[in-house]
């Protein structure tokens, strides 16, 4: 499984269910979207979700 919650003791806190990334991944795959995560230690993490124009509703 590519996404799972790590041990709460290692994280230092016990909140959350660990479902955010698996749900996002499923939504992205269902919509043929693009999902990237880039992380730089000491700076932060950038998460991008891009939907193809055929999946975006016109205003």
pLDDT in tens, 7-48: 655 555 556 667 788 888 899 999 889 999 999 988 888 889
35 exposed, middle or buried (CB, 10 Å; 0-12, 13-18, 19+)?
A: middle
**Distance from C-alpha of 37 to C-alpha of 47, rounded to nearest angstrom:** 5
Q: Decide if pLDDT at 3 tops 60.
A: no
Tokens of 7: 């041990």
Tell whether 1 is covered by a domain. Answer: no
Q: Is residue 31 part of a domain?
A: yes
Tell me if 39 is assigned to some domain: yes
Q: What is the pLDDT of residue 14?
A: 56
Range of the domain at 31: 8-55
Burial 21-34 (b: 16+ CB within 10 A, else e): eeebeeebeeeebe
| pTM greater than 0.85 (yes/no) | no
Q: Could you give the number of structural domains in the chain?
A: 1
Q: Is residue 16 part of a domain?
A: yes
Residue 43 belongs to a domain: yes
- The pLDDT value recorded for residue 34 is 92
Closest CA relative to residue 20, chosen from 33, 38, 10, 35 = 35
């Amino acid at each position: 499984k590519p996404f799972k919650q790590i041990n709460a003791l290692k994280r230092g806190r016990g909140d959350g269910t660990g479902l955010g990334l698996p749900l996002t991944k499923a939504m992205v795959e269902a919509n043929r979207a693009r999902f990237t995560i880039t992380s730089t230690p000491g700076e932060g993490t950038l998460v991008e979700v891009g939907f193809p124009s055929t999946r975006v509703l016109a205003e």
